[in-house]
Amino acid sequence: MPLTSIITVNYNQPAVTIEFLKSVRQFADPHEVEVILVDNAPAKNWRLDFIEAYPDLVYIHSSKNLGYAGGNNLGIKSANGTYILLLNNDTEITASFVSTLVREMEQHPEIGLLSPLIKFFEQKDIIQYAGFSEMNYFTARNAAIGSFEQDKGQYNDDSRETGFCHGAAVMCRKDDLERAGLMDERYFLYYEELDWCEKFKRIGKKIWFTGKAVIYHKESMSVGKASPIKSFFMSRNRMLYVRKNTNAYKTAFFTAYYTFVATPKQVLVHLKNGRTDLAVQTLKGLWWNFTHSSKSASLGYKLS
């Protein structure tokens, strides 16, 4: 089995990350994986605690909080595997998880990015992700396939092309990654995996889902279900994603829709719920796009 580099990012969640590492230690063959942990601006030094949970851990300290995109990019640059597997620190894997994903990649060389069946950790019979529909670029909306369905095995043998992968668990080949490029670190949180999918599509690779491998996700533990930071980045990055990945006509249509319909509607909902803080951050996220270019500096690199 080719070596897989598992990369996870911790931001002051030692207990959650330790549980993640324990699940990898339990269910992944140590001869087939290397585990890289990027510790984003830790409030304390938890290195020894992480190594106790996974003794062969490759620990990378970042003095700055690089976010999801930047943290994963930093880990990728130290990866030695033929395959790169990004996993949220608030996930726990299952038996044969890594080897099943690798076999799927080996059987389908057209795959660029691959995500597994994702289920909720607290309700292990409820599905979070079984693929995404294609994006409507005029509204920047798409649908999550299988979301909140009870798992009755309906996706167990499902393996197919899908609109987008899920950032909580996504695998790629190192060779393809060098061609497609790293994640755009400006996203920081949210939409970076959708933008990354667009990069892989542009090099002729397919975005894929498989129900043969399962992972459990402790959704929204990183920033909370409703928080100012989430409101800002969701608002900002939705528009940034469209600006980067569509033509001028679609961008103009979306800008009008987002500025005069979607954002005011969201602001009113926040105000109705007494969350002025969320309303303010939603507006700040929109305004950012009128003051910053959609073009990013090159993030190309070579691992070897």
Query: Does residue 252 have a pLDDT over 70?
Result: yes
Query: Does residue 50 have a pLDDT over 70?
Result: yes
Cα-flanking dihedrals φ and ψ of residue 175, to 5°?
A: -65, -40
217, 237, 252 - which closes a domain: 217
214-251 confidence digits (pLDDT tens): 999 998 544 457 799 999 999 999 999 999 999 999 99
298 occurs within a structural domain: no
pLDDT given for residue 91 in this prediction: 97
The stretch 66-76 carries a mean pLDDT of 96
- What region does 175 belong to: left with phi over 0, alpha with psi -120 to 50, or beta? alpha
169 and 102: one domain? Answer: yes
297 occurs within a structural domain: no
Segments forming the whole domain that contains residue 64: 4-217
Q: How many domains does the chain have?
A: 2
200 and 257: one domain? Answer: no
Indicate the pTM of the whole model. Answer: 0.93
Query: Does residue 56 have a pLDDT over 80?
Result: yes
233 and 101: one domain? Answer: no
Query: Does residue 304 have a pLDDT over 50?
Result: no
182 and 131: one domain? Answer: yes
142 occurs within a structural domain: yes
pLDDT given for residue 296 in this prediction: 63
Map residue 54 onto helix, strand or coil. coil
Count CA within 13 A, CB hemisphere, residue 97: 27
In angstroms, rounded to a whole number, what is the distance separating the alpha carbons of residues 123 and 17? Answer: 20
Q: How confident is the model at residue 193 (pLDDT cuts 50, 70, 90)?
A: very high
- Sequence-distant (6+) residues with CB within 8 A of 53 are 18, 21, 22, 25
Query: Does residue 263 have a pLDDT over 60?
Result: yes
144 and 52: one domain? Answer: yes
In angstroms, rounded to a whole number, what is the distance separating the alpha carbons of residues 198 and 42? Answer: 32
Strands 83-87 and 169-173: antiparallel
Element (DSSP H or E) covering residue 277: helix 276-291
Question: What is the sign, positive or negative, of the torsion defined by CA atoms of 81, 83, 89, 94?
Answer: negative
Closest CA to 117 of 207, 212, 206, 208: 212
**Cα–Cα–Cα angle for 279, 191, 304, nearest 5°?**
145
51 and 186: one domain? Answer: yes
144-187 confidence digits (pLDDT tens): 999 999 999 999 999 999 999 999 999 999 999 999 999 999 99
160 and 280: one domain? Answer: no
Q: What is the distance in angstroms between the CA of the first residue and the CA of the last residue of the chain?
A: 21
What's the mean per-residue pLDDT of the chain?
Answer: 94
pLDDT given for residue 219 in this prediction: 80
Query: Does residue 301 have a pLDDT over 50?
Result: no
244 occurs within a structural domain: yes
What's the CATH number where 17 sits? 3.90.550.10
In angstroms, rounded to a whole number, what is the distance separating the alpha carbons of residues 135 and 141? Answer: 6
Q: Which tokens in the block code for residue 177?
A: 């990654």
pLDDT given for residue 226 in this prediction: 79
